[in-house]
Amino acid sequence: SGGSGNDYYSVDSASDTVTELAGEGIDTVSASTTSYTLGSNVENLYFYSYGSSSYTTGYGNELDNVISGNYSSDNSLYGNAGNDTLYGGSGNDYLDGGTGNDALYGYAGNDYLNGGTGNDAMSGGSGN
């Protein structure tokens, strides 16, 4: 678990748990897994892998999340509640903002963008 201030966590398993208290900065998880769900009080999720084209699935929480998929793979990203920003990549991505005023960026590939409820901004990028 982190403390006051902005914390950065690196996880390598979907079962890894990050524990944060409310109001302790902007916290970020960097995941080398194919799936991860943000715990309470954690704002940001970034997927990465080195040379892998694995399919990634990421879930936000009730906060204003920034979720970035693995750039070279297909991603399914779900903001859930809050005013979220979701970034796909060069693959075929599914981005779902959920509730709130969200921003969705599909980039290259054949993407499906669903803003959900709220006033959302969406950019599919190149592809269908």
Q: What is the pTM of this model?
A: 0.93
65-119 per-position pLDDT tens digit = 999 999 888 999 999 999 999 999 999 999 999 999 999 999 999 999 999 999 9
> Dihedrals φ, ψ of 107, to 5°?
60, -150
User: Per DSSP, what are the bridge partners of residue 86?
Assistant: 67, 104
Residue 52 predicted with pLDDT over 80: no
Q: What does the H/E/C string look like for 46-63?
A: EECCCCCCCCEEEECCCC
For residues 26-38, average pLDDT:
95
Give the separation between CA 76 and CA 59, rounded to whole angstroms.
9
CA distance 41 to 45: 12
Q: What pLDDT band is residue 4 in, cutting at 50, 70 and 90? A: confident
Asked if pLDDT for residue 122 goes beyond 90, the answer is yes
